[in-house]
């Protein structure tokens, strides 16, 4: 079947394509992407739980095979990108993944994130004061928030947050399936600049330690708990993973409320529903709808055998609209319960930032819904398989 994530039709509504994939009744091979697509909730959950399915190519293929695959996918000749982006906590497995995750886990607990709530609320309030009249909700409002919140976590100065956000976009854009040489150069040059910035920031924190993640990562490197490259890649990942996806879900969340005005009215009438509503925003339009896994050995999965090295596409966006897992899945319901969605991943790779993401969303929409909001133009959605969110969302705020 035709599955074209770069098409404008898929950008407007990927869920029709996901429905068609589920109707096949078996994993679907996509020769263009070179992987098996898993569109059902139970399949995605099973794959995420299966320790034989891994993120890293190491141990699955030989070094020569990995190099050949990198060249074929245009991932080669990117020294800084290879060191700090292509290897990370997200793309590691087993003991390496567990060690790196443990080093930063306490920074993302509910208790740790609570200390950012008041400052985030003040920053959102100041943005809303300036957001009057006709605006692009993405560029004029949402894009400013994640960099500030994560910047506080990393101890980056406020003046640098806009630059860091731009760098994050430059690097993350190369993860989707359209990897041109121009995008490649942008990603590599940005990774190099980001590296120099983080080295300088770490040096300042070593001279003047603070209560922040960079200080603690630098101390862990000095103690031998992680390597220099692991320090840099972890700091980069925290900013990149939290930046684009947070902007996307803020914009798609507002788009959903505007598309379903009865649900917006319901939420305004009962603000206590906000935490549940935020979970539904993530389920309905997950900002990261796709992740891959490789079979580290011959495996039997979803009723059939796959050889070592098989690549699987875990379609979280499809799983979250699976009628076998959710009643009336295409209905946006701010009081949906239960809501066991997969927007934050699952098991070992459950998103570290899920608490900070939900806190930010609750803060934003808690203030935003006090304003009158009018949709001026239909959203323009991003193209691709790895991200989901509006590129632009024109609204009037009064």
Exposed, middle or buried by CB within 10 Å (0-12, 13-18, 19+), for 77? exposed
Which tokens in the block code for residue 302?
A: 């979803």
Class of domain 8-17+78-286+324-332+347-397: mainly alpha
Domains in the chain: boundaries: 8-17+78-286+324-332+347-397
232 contacts 198 by C-beta, under 8 angstroms: yes
Which tokens in the block code for residue 363?
A: 């803060």
Q: Would you say the C-alpha torsion 338, 340, 344, 348 has a positive or negative sign?
A: positive
340 φ, ψ (degrees, to nearest 5): -85, 65
Give the span between the Cα atoms of 353 and 343, in whole angstroms.
Answer: 12
Strand partners, 375: 395
All residue ranges of the chain with pLDDT < 50 are none
Which pairing describes strands 35-38 and 311-315: parallel, antiparallel, or unpaired?
parallel
155 contacts 198 by C-beta, under 8 angstroms: no
In the three-class reduction of DSSP (H, G, I as helix; E, B as strand; rest coil), residue 299 is classed as strand
228 contacts 84 by C-beta, under 8 angstroms: no
65 φ, ψ (degrees, to nearest 5): -65, -40
**pTM confidence score:** 0.93
For 209, other C-beta atoms within 10 Å of its C-beta total 14
Give the span between the Cα atoms of 323 and 22, in whole angstroms.
Answer: 10
pLDDT value of residue 2: 66
Which tokens in the block code for residue 90?
A: 């997200």
Give the span between the Cα atoms of 381 and 391, in whole angstroms.
Answer: 5
């Amino acid at each position: 079947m035709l599955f074209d994530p770069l098409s404008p039709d898929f950008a407007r509504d990927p869920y029709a394509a996901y429905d068609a994939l589920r109707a096949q009744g078996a994993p679907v091979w996509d020769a263009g992407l070179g992987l098996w697509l898993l569109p059902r909730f139970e399949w995605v959950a099973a794959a995420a739980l299966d320790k034989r399915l891994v993120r890293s190519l190491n141990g699955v293929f030989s070094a020569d095979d990995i190099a050949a695959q990198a060249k074929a996918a245009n991932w080669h000749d990117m020294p800084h990108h290879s060191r700090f982006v292509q290897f990370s906590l997200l793309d590691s497995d087993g003991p390496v993944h567990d060690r790196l995750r443990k080093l930063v886990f306490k920074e993302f607990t509910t208790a740790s994130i609570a200390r950012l709530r008041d400052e985030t609320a003040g920053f959102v309030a100041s943005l809303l004061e300036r957001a009057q009249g006709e605006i692009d909700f993405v560029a004029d409002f949402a894009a400013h928030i994640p960099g500030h919140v994560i910047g506080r976590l990393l101890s980056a100065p406020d003046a640098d947050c806009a630059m860091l956000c731009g760098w994050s976009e430059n690097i993350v854009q190369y993860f989707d399936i359209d990897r041109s040489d121009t995008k490649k150069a942008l990603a590599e040059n940005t990774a190099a600049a980001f590296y120099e910035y983080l080295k300088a920031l770490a040096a300042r924190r070593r001279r003047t330690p603070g209560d922040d993640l960079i200080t603690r990562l630098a101390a862990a490197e000095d103690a031998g708990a992680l390597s220099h490259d692991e320090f840099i890649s972890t700091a980069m990942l925290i900013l990149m993973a939290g930046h684009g996806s947070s902007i996307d879900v803020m914009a798609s969340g507002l788009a959903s409320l505007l598309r379903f005005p009865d649900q917006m009215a319901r939420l305004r009438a009962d603000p206590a529903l906000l935490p549940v509503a935020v979970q539904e925003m993530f389920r309905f339009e997950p900002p990261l709808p796709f992740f891959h896994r490789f079979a580290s050995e011959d495996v039997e999965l979803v009723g059939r055998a796959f050889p070592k090295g098989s690549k699987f596409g875990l379609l979280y966006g499809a799983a979250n609209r699976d009628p076998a897992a959710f009643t009336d899945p295409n209905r946006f319901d701010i009081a949906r319960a239960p809501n066991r969605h997969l927007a934050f991943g699952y098991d070992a790779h459950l998103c570290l930032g899920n608490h900070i993401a939900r806190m930010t969303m609750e803060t934003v929409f808690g203030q935003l819904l006090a304003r009158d909001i009018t949709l001026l133009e239909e959203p323009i959605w991003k193209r691709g398989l790895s991200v989901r969110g509006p590129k632009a969302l024109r609204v009037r705020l009064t």
